[in-house]
Structure 1
Amino acid sequence: MQITRRHALMGASAILGAAMLGTGTGLSAETREKARALGLRITALKTFLVAPRSIFVKVYTNQGITGLGVALQTSKEVATAAAIMENERVLIGRDPTRIEALWQELYQAPRWRGGPLTAAISAIDIALWDILGQALGQPIHQLLGGAVRDSIRIYGSTMDMTPAIFAEQKAQGITATRVQAPKGSVGAMIAATRRWREMVGPDHELAVHMDGTLSTREAMQYLHRVEDLNLLWVEEPIQMDDVEDWAMLRARTTTPLATGERVLTKWGFAPYLNRHLIDFAQPDIASCGGLSEARKIAALAEVNRIQMAPHGPHESAGALVNLHFDAATPNFFAQEVRDYTSQFELDLHEGLVPQIKDGFAALPDRPGLGTVLNEKIAAQRPYIAITRSAEGRAF
């Protein structure tokens, strides 16, 4: 019997239904073998670039199941799509349920690594988890060991904090907000942060995002002057070029530090985690190496008592990747989200979008990733490369 995407998403994969573990603690070796016994083989890959910066891949199989993956590599979307397709010749005819083995081959075999190459592996890895979940009739988080929470805490994001924005977030049940630091002098950033804290009061958790715009000297000045504000974290105060700069910051402030959306793989995160240089790790699962690698980063963070707050300015497919990860990760703290209710978004994913209410996201409950990509809708917003100015806006 051919297993179709429709059957999988409807939870009608009766072939393996009776073999699922009911404890929520993971899949037995026997069940994994039954997945392999389906004879799944990869037959093709296809990429889709959707404005403004979404990179999707579909991984096709001989049993009619198609896995959906997503990559993020801002300003290198075309290169990332090409890197994804470079892997097709390696993957054709391979068993998509052997996720770890394929990850290791795609990462270890090439001479060059990083950037679009790692983002390409991320997208493929996510798609393979989607295939496995559909084949077994289980949401991905169940395959990762089962949910350790009933819902997923989110935090708000805003370019500025005003009384109106704060009131709106409170009405949505949001209890933590990350605010973008204003451009300009360190003094202006300090004044803005103090104004925001006064506005939201002492109990609302307040974080500040810097985009790596400060020099190390400026960052130390800022962190010193906001010590008394009890910030949730300061995110990316400096660039990731020199880990010793982060060691200097860590030694000179008690304000929690967060970073990671531009750090790739467990090896990239290791010095930040093993040396306790950050308090919150923020990998982007669509660029750091996929779900397989994010799980290892989370385990390393857990060993060092560091919490996870994955990067998440994605459309619905990327957001659902995060939610599966968040559900099954013990040291998860809160998730960055955005609005998934535009008509284009709903049409692009045929209504299968994250469900957010009262400051929490619901656990995804459909098999695999739990969404689809409508190719006709995707074609309505073709990607257009944009070259930005040299005045601080990366192209």
Structure 2
Amino acid sequence: MVAWSVCAKRIALGGSRNWILLLVVFVVYTTWRETFPDAHSLKTITFMAKMKPQGANRPSQSIGHPKIVQDGYQKAILLSYMRGGTTFVGSTFERNKDIFYVFEPEWSLIFQTMNEYQPLQNVDGTFQDPVWIHDADETVERLIQNYLYCNISGIDVTSLRQRFMLEARYTKPLYDCVRMKRNKMANCVKNFTNVCTSKKFRFLKTVRLRVHAIEKLLTNDPSLRIIHMIRDPRGIAVSRQGWQEFYQAKMTFTFGRVCAEMLRDIESVEKLPPEVAKRVLPVLYEEVAENPESMVEHLYKFVQMPYTGYVREYVKNVTHAAKDNTVGFSTQRANSAKTAYSWRAKISWKLSSEIDAICERVYKKVGYLRAKSEQVLRNYNISLRDPHISGSYVDKFRQFRIPP
């Protein structure tokens, strides 16, 4: 606190700009404390960061996947990109009481890998080895595997406490339990594990997981299915602009990365053996928005989970609501099809053209079209999707899986 007070006095002498800087630093610090409540003190973390990383160049240790997993449980992962429209699709599975649903399970773990020497605290109070950036994929895969197989005691404490646990009916009680100091972590985990194992169907929704990180898991478990959801990058751009303004300053850079991730995921699926690739279903967000009731039912059929009357009614209600609710991760839309293309009136011609150039290879794989002029961009009667593209990623990998 002394350091903070000294810093504040110095910044006060520097005028309003430095006060803004202080505010930004304070927000970042408090967010860090909220995200990693069980981390060591700042001095300890600083000391660890300066330590020579023993075995930093060691080869990654194997997770130890079983050859073939047949445990009688049906599992699925909804994989996409931030502001890619997955919150709505994920919510249709979260509303199903027969499905153990987890929202963004690897969120805190991804941020931990940004600090190479950040240890992971186990449920029993011990610590795992620090997360090395070059081992990040293996660490994330282990986390996903633990959720899919209800090995909750193998999940680090920070992941169990992260804020997205509030987004699902079965994970919220765990979040509440571990946040109450009088509760023992072991008891919270035991209850959560019992809930997980009682459900025959398990479903994870994520925008931070990439296909290559779970290739082994997908290959070794014939009951695991992946819904790979893709949205027009221009639509993602507008959604992100409205959600967090800081994206506007670096939008072109951001979409170089977004489309690179899309392309890598597509190519990862294309390289899978045919018998494995058939358990991956590419889906366009725009198609779901245009026909939400039929598409959600088809997605349920693909992952082989029960599509209940309650879920059917939920889909109908949220996609034909009286008005939009666009706060945070809300899924309520008065007209979901109209919402899917509203970006065409909001995006600047300059940004649209830049994204067209950056994401050209993704467009060719999926079937999105460049806007040849601003007039074309604003004209909703002119489609920016090619419905007749032959051999596209979406067409090739989903034929015979979702009826037209």
Same fold flag (TM > 0.5): no
Per residue, is there more strand in 1 or in 2?
Answer: 1
Per residue, is there more helix in 1 or in 2?
Answer: 2
Normalising by structure 2, report the TM-score.
0.24
Over alpha carbons, which structure has the higher Rg?
2
Normalising by structure 1, report the TM-score.
0.24
